Amino acid sequence: MRSIGDVEVANKKIIIRVDLNLPMIDGKIIDYTRFDKTIPTIKYLLKNKAKVIIISHLGRPKGGYEEKLSLKFLVNEFKNSIIDKNIEFANSIKDAREKIKKNDLLILENLRFNPQEEKNCLNFAKKLASIGEIYVNEAFSCSHRSHSSIDAITKFLPSFGGFLLLDEIRNLSSLFNNNKSLTAIVGGSKISTKLDLLTSLINKANNIIIGGAMANNFLKANSINIGKSLYEKNMLDKAQSIMCEAKEKNCNIILPIDAKIAKELGENFSEVDINNITSEYSIFDIGNKTVNLFSKVVMNSNIVIWNGPMGVFEYPPFDQGTNMLAKKIAELTNLGNLTSVAGGGDIVAALNKANLNSSFSYISTAGGAFLEWLEGKELPGIKALH
């Protein structure tokens, strides 16, 4: 894939697709991670005398302009982050085409105010492309979507991968392209949303550690009484067949051996052996013995990939299982004994909350795209750059 670093950008109008779909509450940005990550590439382009048009979506507009989803507020955010540069706002493609003649830096209004964006519409992509001369995809986290600004636009302009996007792909590719011992940790709530993930991992990983509510399906399929714990009734056969397939492929599936249980969240909890759960109780986290068991597996691995928390981490003490396992992984990573990767919305939130994110080798903020990559799917936005 061609990198934007390999092409002459001076005096060129560059359209850069970034992910500024920032987490917000009441109109305020609550996490700047994605925003901050876009700055170095934009600075690089400006320093090399390019003209830059920033494009992104925000939220899910219902098919037209919505004031609270306008990207206009980002003008000030960029002014504070990009030194010595005037940034202009363009409220339409036509407006952008005019303004980029006189300005070096523009941000275009929310792409999704135009319903054609999500339809991967060639006509819309062509109009979008007419603003610039080169296209850069710097939004790995949006690259699992076949949308005009990700996919169709590459048909009309010379297209390149941004530094961030290439970095993410390099990091993820290196996980599978070696003979090292690989352990996947899969948790979270719903097995039905992660069937493709588990099936794909069976073929790539030496071990799959299963925790969270995800594990309940497997425990129940093994005839263990899980009381009132969350599980999916119509998934028990699936869980069974995943375990059989894993056995055939020499992939170890490791399940919890004890649990933190309570009648309800917020009520008294206790820690019991997995065979001693009674019918009024629910599993809300893995227990200490399980943390030790999972840690041992991790200690004997070279690479760990983690998606989905081990318990209801939003309600302490049911964050302990996730936190203790994360601490162990952080320790091994800091010692240089382990490559550790985590990705997905909730596990990243859990690691942030426990202040352990910087001790992992790599954290992917690209929820859906990260998962589809792990599932072995080809991402339309990445394919389009080839």
Determine if 19 is a binding residue for Mg ion (CB under 5 A).
Answer: no
Annotation says 68 is catalytic = no
Per CB under 6 A, 345 contacts ligand ADP: yes
Q: Is 36 in the site for ligand ADP (CB under 6 A)?
A: no
Which 3 state secondary structure label does DSSP give 120? coil
Nearer to Mg ion, 162 or 343 (CB): 343
321 binds ligand ADP (CB under 6 A): no
For residue 244, what are its two tokens? 């059989």
284 binds, among Mg ion, ligand ADP, none (CB under 5 to 8 A by kind): ligand ADP
- Choose, from 12, 126, 190, 228, the residue flagged as catalytic: 190
Query: How many residues interact with ligand ADP (rule CB under 6 A)?
Result: 18
Q: Which of 159, 217, 307, 340 binds ligand ADP (CB under 6 A)?
A: 307
Q: What angle do CA 188, 21, 118 make, to 5 degrees?
A: 95
Give Cα 269 to chain centroid, integer Å: 32
Can you tell me the distance from the alpha carbon of 144 to that of 371, in angstroms, rounded to the nearest whole number? 10
Q: Please say whether the beta carbons of 379 and 154 come within 8 A.
A: no
What mask, x for binding Mg ion by CB under 5 A, covers residues 321 to 350?
Answer: ------------------------xx----
Q: Closest separation between CB of residue 55 and ligand ADP, Å? A: 27
Q: Tokens 């901050």 label which residue?
A: 36
Q: Interface with ligand ADP includes 264 (CB under 6 A)?
A: no
**Is 381 annotated as catalytic?**
no
Is 135 or 140 the residue whose CB approaches Mg ion more closely?
A: 140
**Binder to ligand ADP among 308, 356, 365, 379 (CB under 6 A)?**
308
Closest Cα partner for 82 from 41, 48, 27, 22? Answer: 41
Residue 345 annotated as catalytic: yes
Q: Is 314 in the site for ligand ADP (CB under 6 A)?
A: yes
Identify whether 336 is a catalytic site residue.
no
β-strand partners of 75: none
Q: How far is CA 218 from CA 128, 165, 242, 366, in A?
A: 48, 36, 9, 27
Query: Is 283 one of the binding residues for ligand ADP (CB under 6 A)?
Result: yes
Residue of 13, 34, 194, 260 marked catalytic: 34
Contacts of 182 (CB under 8 A, 6+ apart): 175, 176, 204, 205, 206, 207, 301, 302, 303, 304, 305
Give me the residue label for tokens 């994360």. Answer: 326
Q: How many CA atoms, within 13 angstroms, populate the side-chain half-sphere of residue 67?
A: 1
Binder among 198, 312, 325, 330 for ligand ADP (CB under 6 A) = 312
Least Å distance between CB 203 and ligand ADP? Answer: 20
Burial class (CB in 10 A: 0-12, 13-18, 19+), 42: buried
91 vs 357 by CB, closer to Mg ion? 357
Binding residues for ligand ADP (CB under 6 A): 187-189, 212-213, 230, 283-284, 307-309, 311-312, 314, 344-347
Binding residues for Mg ion (CB under 5 A): 345-346
Q: Which residues are the active-site residues?
A: 34, 190, 345, 368
